[in-house]
Amino acid sequence: MARPLRIQYTGAVYHVTGRGNEKKEIYRDDRDREEFLEILSQSLQIYNVILHSYVQMNNHYHLLVETPLGNLGEFMRHFNITYTSYFNRRHKRTGHLYQGRYKSIIVDKEAYLTVLSRYIHLNPVRTKNTKKMPDREKKEYLIRYQWSSLPGYIDKNRKQKSVNYEMVLQEYGGDTERGRKAYGVVISDDISSGLEVKNRIVGQSILGGEDFIKMIRDRYLKGKTDRECPSVNKIKRYQAKEEIIKIIKETTGKDIKAIKAERDVCRQILMDLMYRAGGMTGVEIGRVFGVDYSTVSQSRRRLREKMKNDCKLGILMKRIEDRLSI
């Protein structure tokens, strides 16, 4: 089985998740949760890793960490093995605690650090038991939920030594009363509006803007094979939308302004290639054209139907795809 993509470099930021084997609980009581946090704190110190945010759920955990030494693998190996040993010893069991290896997504620190922190903090109100709560109750539940770094973001008296609050709070006014209040307001807005990041992840491994994805691809994926890691192929195919627009203009003679105005097959082609070659979601493409994601989906479907009976359209698409190397 192909192993997940692992990219390590000094200063990298990751969203890390670990799930219980067979979806089973990884904590049986508060003592387990406390020991988990103690082992996490020790591992952070040993490997000089910065913890920005975390949450403990019954059968999984989320961490937002930064690695000044580029050593995520060593840190996670020590942390997971140490906690598994403790858990097995205490509960007189053997075998794996976690479902395979941990999952890590490399994060564009400038664009997504605060977004990921908020996403992690919202997890306790995404469960079956809490989803139907009124928004006010959800906010109160999150503030009371002690197995998360959120309380320390809102109340300075609940801060934990192992968590670095400053970097996330910079965007909201700093690690001050004003900054903490502003962070709490945004959390309340996220509860009402929803906050999702899964559809922004490229190749199941990278969350970031176009420049960040290009940097990762050019600097760290050269020499990687698709057989070793299938997700590499998706990242290698990723093209900035400006590059796609440029190639379509050179091939068809139409720029983005004309494509938006005419709403012809070129618009359908651009939507389709932004999705397949650009790694963009339907929602993101919709924002470019001022439409909703369902319109994007319908346009792409209509393009596929047209290509079945239009040889010239098929040839045009092939020419564009060849230039995009997809």
Contact yes or no for 112/11 (Cβ under 8 A): no
Task: Name the pTM for this structure.
Answer: 0.72
The residue behind tokens 């387990």 is 32
Contacting residues for 209 by C-beta, under 8 A, at least 6 apart: 108, 111
- 182 & 54 share domain: yes
Q: Is the dihedral of CA 84, 90, 91, 94 positive or negative?
A: positive
d(CA 112, CA 118): 10
- 105 & 157 share domain: yes
The pair of structure tokens assigned to 16 is 């890390």
- 302 & 158 share domain: no
For the chain, residues with pLDDT lower than 50 are 1-2, 228, 230
Whether 231 is covered by a domain: the verdict is no
- 186 & 275 share domain: no
- 86 & 158 share domain: yes
The reported pLDDT for the residue numbered 275 is 81
The reported pLDDT for the residue numbered 276 is 78
Domain count, the chain: 2
Contact yes or no for 286/293 (Cβ under 8 A): yes
- 184 & 261 share domain: no
- 42 & 120 share domain: yes
Q: Is the dihedral of CA 143, 65, 183, 208 positive or negative?
A: negative
Q: What is the CATH number of the domain that holds 70?
A: 3.30.70.1290
Whether 220 is covered by a domain: the verdict is no
Q: Which domain holds residue 264?
A: 239-324
- 115 & 162 share domain: yes
Of the residues 180, 200, 220, which one is the last residue of a structural domain?
Answer: 200
Whether 308 is covered by a domain: the verdict is yes
Q: What is the CATH number of the domain that holds 292?
A: 1.10.1750.10
Q: Which strands sit side by side in the sheet containing 103-107, from one edge to the other?
A: 50-56, 60-67, 12-19, 103-107, 206-207
Whether 7 is covered by a domain: the verdict is no
Whether 277 is covered by a domain: the verdict is yes
Whether 2 is covered by a domain: the verdict is no
Of the residues 200, 231, 264, which one is the last residue of a structural domain?
Answer: 200
The reported pLDDT for the residue numbered 268 is 93
- 170 & 76 share domain: yes
- 267 & 189 share domain: no
pLDDT tens for 94-132 read 999 999 889 999 999 998 999 999 999 999 998 888 888
